[in-house]
């Protein structure tokens, strides 16, 4: 089973708008809401490919119940920790010009007792899992080294872990040498502490991380493509040419695809081709994490 951890899930409200005009009245053309958060998106994709998956994290209030119901409908196991606060709602504004504006709530505050309950549930789920995906931001009350702590537990139990986060969460997580990380270029620059002006610089930073103990570094580079680096090889897969409707969830698609390839024991070159195709297929739909299989197979 693949275990996904989403400590700060959200209800994603997607709104179509002709053009976003700051400081003026903006009338939305269409809206719809789905269960979201990086790890939730990964779970949605895994279940579309009929892989056994379990999801955990913090959920509270009406929005929390909506997310849990959606995950259960997917056929995934639910091991969420109930909290007093309300799970956040994020708003994605999709302009007709192709620009996506994201309005992200910070999330609820987690108590020490709620955090302890989550860690206890994590230990139980870890026993049932062969691979763990740690994704996204964390709510207030959760320390910046939480992913590092969870990654260390995974390594101690012989479980592979994929880490996809940013900022101090990523910096602290990398210290525990997770099996795979999936930064984008900006997140990689944060780790490097400087700008990475070209692909050569990006490759060098990824190689540095691999030499320091991260087994696999996968860098999502948007419309350019995906870079894979380990201690033995560097592979670059160009992005697929598609009409983009929504880029939200493309990075999560890469994570889900790499997780599935790890479970199948596929070579990195094939894994990267699948990740590029899946990410592009995600981009042609309005709903993140909902893959049109015909488009995916054609791109692949």
Q: Which of 110, 149, 107 minimizes the C-alpha distance to 132?
A: 149
Distances, alpha carbon 126 to alpha carbons 5, 82, 144, in Å: 11, 19, 21
How many CA within 13 A on the CB side of residue 45?
34
Please give the Cα distance from 136 to 47 (Å, whole number): 19
Cα dihedral value 36, 40, 43, 48, nearest 10: 0
Catalytic entry in 69, 164, 252, 294: 252
How many helices (H) and strands (E) are present in the chain, helices listed first?
A: 10, 14
252 is catalytic: yes
Which of helix, strand or coil describes residue 189? helix
The encoded tokens of residue 289 equal 């994490």
Please give the Cα distance from 96 to 29 (Å, whole number): 10
The encoded tokens of residue 69 equal 């119901």
Please give the Cα distance from 195 to 202 (Å, whole number): 9
Which of helix, strand or coil describes residue 226? strand
The encoded tokens of residue 236 equal 């670059």
Task: Name the CA radius of gyration of the chain, rounded.
Answer: 18
Whether the CB-CB separation of 237 and 219 falls below 8 Å is answered with no
Neighbours of 103 (CB within 10 A): 11
Residues with catalytic annotation? 252
């Amino acid at each position: 089973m693949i275990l996904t951890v989403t400590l700060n899930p959200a209800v994603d409200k997607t709104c179509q708008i002709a053009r976003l005009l700051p400081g003026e009245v903006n009338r939305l053309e269409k809206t719809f809401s789905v269960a979201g958060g990086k790890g939730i998106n990964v779970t949605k994709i895994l279940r579309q490919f009929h892989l056994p998956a379990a999801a955990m994290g913090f959920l509270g209030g009406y929005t929390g119940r909506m997310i849990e119901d959606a995950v259960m409908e997917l056929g995934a196991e639910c091991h969420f920790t109930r909290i007093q606060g309300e799970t956040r709602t994020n708003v994605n504004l999709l302009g007709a010009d192709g620009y996506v504006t994201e309005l992200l709530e910070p999330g609820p505050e987690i108590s020490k007792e709620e955090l302890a309950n989550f860690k206890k549930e994590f230990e139980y789920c870890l026993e049932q899992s062969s691979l763990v995906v740690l994704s996204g931001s964390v709510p207030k009350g959760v320390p910046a080294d939480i992913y590092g702590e969870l990654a260390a537990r995974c390594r101690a139990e012989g479980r592979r872990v994929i880490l996809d986060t940013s900022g101090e969460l990523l910096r602290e997580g990398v210290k525990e040498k997770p099996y795979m990380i999936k930064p984008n270029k900006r997140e990689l620059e944060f780790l490097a502490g400087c700008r990475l002006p070209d692909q050569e610089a990006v490759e060098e930073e990824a190689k540095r991380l691999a030499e320091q103990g991260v087994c696999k570094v996968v860098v999502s580079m948007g419309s350019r493509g995906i870079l894979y680096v380990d201690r033995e090889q560097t592979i670059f897969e160009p992005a697929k040419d598609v009409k983009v409707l929504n880029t939200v969830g493309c990075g999560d698609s890469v994570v889900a695809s790499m997780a599935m390839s790890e479970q199948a024991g596929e070579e990195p070159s094939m894994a990267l081709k699948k990740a590029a195709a899946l990410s592009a297929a995600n981009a042609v739909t309005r709903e993140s994490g909902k893959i049109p299989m015909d488009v995916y197979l054609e791109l692949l």
